[in-house]
């Protein structure tokens, strides 16, 4: 994903503030009481974490939705959806079929194509071209080193945890073969899944050839997320807050931290993927599980300037969703 200047500073500040607020137990468990939904993003980091995320609220016994919970409020996103991941039932949406760029959420499809192809222990040598690509246009990078030899599985970690565009390029060129052939496979998979409002122009969601050349809809991205989460390999990667690879004779040491700040701060969060470009704004495809219930959702363009807003929007949706759905009956 492409980050604007000083984004890393904003993320660090939002992360530190979120941790402080959570540790102090200051987040409210009260449900939103209005049906108003705004797309205007707050301008402070504090606003990005001031949402109910306590374990007590999340684990409360589910009840039928009262009238005041008919719609969630305070969800800052121009597009989005929340669904029951187990049944597929849609609980909330905004701009359900409106096509929007989604940044590095694109990499979920890249991962799905690679995982379906298999042979995840195949070894891939990192070329100079991969390293150059990872350093272009402020792209997020796994910091891959030219000459290193990594497995496809390790490159999936480098693509999904720190959102490495260099890792995505390495996988696309290896599994195409060639990135153009690989992107064609991505679009073919989208058609097979019924993602009718989606088109991939590249393998990582960077804004080329234009900012909106790669696009999708909230409906399609929830379909994609559900399909990807069927894979144990994918699930095990996207739930990690960090991943470490020790140095050996074939590669350097790598340490990657997740870009998904919902992990570790929202109880029950199990993934999935962040995304951002100047055209897409800050986006998040997410899933959380509690007490036999599972919710999946996406928020698109939650803010153009504050990366923390997407996590706050997701948390509000999840709190609302867990309140209104019943746990599945025991068999």
Catalytic (active-site) positions: 104, 107, 163
Q: Judge contact between 276 and 282, C-beta under 8 A.
A: yes
Please choose, from the candidates 124, 111, 32, the residue with its C-alpha nearest in 3D space to the C-alpha of residue 70: 32
Please choose, from the candidates 150, 160, 155, 122, the residue with its C-alpha nearest in 3D space to the C-alpha of residue 248: 150
What whole-number distance in Å separates Cα of residue 319 and Cα of residue 297? 12
174, exposed or middle or buried, with CB in 10 Å at 0-12, 13-18, 19+? buried
What whole-number distance in Å separates Cα of residue 314 and Cα of residue 310? 6
Using DSSP, state whether 205 is helix, strand or coil. coil
In angstroms, what CA-CA distances link 36 with 42, 70, 275, 315? Answer: 15, 11, 26, 17
Using DSSP, state whether 82 is helix, strand or coil. strand
Q: Judge contact between 321 and 290, C-beta under 8 A.
A: no
Cα 176 from chain centroid (whole Å):
24
Cβ neighbours of residue 80 under 8 Å, at least 6 residues apart?
92, 93, 94, 95, 218, 297, 298, 299, 300, 313, 317
């Amino acid at each position: 994903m492409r980050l604007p200047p000083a984004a890393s500073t904003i993320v660090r500040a939002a992360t530190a503030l979120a941790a402080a607020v959570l540790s102090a137990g200051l987040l409210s468990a009260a449900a939103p009481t209005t049906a108003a939904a705004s797309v205007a993003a707050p301008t402070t980091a504090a606003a990005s974490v001031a949402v109910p995320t306590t374990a007590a609220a999340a684990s409360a016994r589910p009840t039928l939705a009262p009238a005041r919970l008919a719609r969630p409020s305070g969800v800052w996103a121009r597009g989005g959806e929340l669904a029951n991941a187990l049944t597929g039932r849609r609980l909330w949406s905004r701009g359900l079929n409106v096509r929007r760029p989604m940044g590095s959420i694109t990499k979920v499809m890249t991962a799905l194509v690679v995982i379906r192809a298999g042979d995840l222990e195949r070894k891939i040598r990192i070329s100079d071209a991969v390293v150059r690509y990872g350093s272009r246009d402020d792209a997020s990078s796994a910091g891959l080193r030219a000459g290193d030899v990594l497995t496809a599985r390790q490159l999936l970690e480098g693509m999904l945890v720190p959102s490495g565009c260099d890792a995505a390029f390495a996988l696309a060129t290896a599994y195409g073969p060639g990135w153009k052939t690989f992107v064609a496979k991505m679009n073919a998979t989208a058609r097979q899944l019924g993602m009718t409002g989606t088109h991939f122009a590249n393998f990582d969601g960077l804004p080329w050839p234009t900012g909106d050349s790669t696009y999708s809809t909230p409906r399609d991205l929830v379909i994609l997320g559900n399909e990807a989460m069927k894979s144990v390999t994918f699930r095990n990667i996207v739930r990690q807050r960090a991943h470490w690879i020790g140095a050996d004779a074939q590669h350097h040491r790598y340490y990657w931290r997740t870009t998904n700040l919902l992990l570790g701060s929202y109880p029950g969060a199990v993934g999935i993927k962040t995304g951002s470009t100047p055209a897409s704004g800050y986006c998040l495809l997410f899933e959380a599980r509690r007490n036999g219930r599972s919710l999946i959702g996406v928020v698109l363009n939650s803010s153009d300037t504050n990366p923390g807003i997407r996590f706050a929007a997701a948390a509000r949706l999840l709190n609302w969703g867990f309140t209104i759905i019943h746990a599945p009956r025991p068999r």
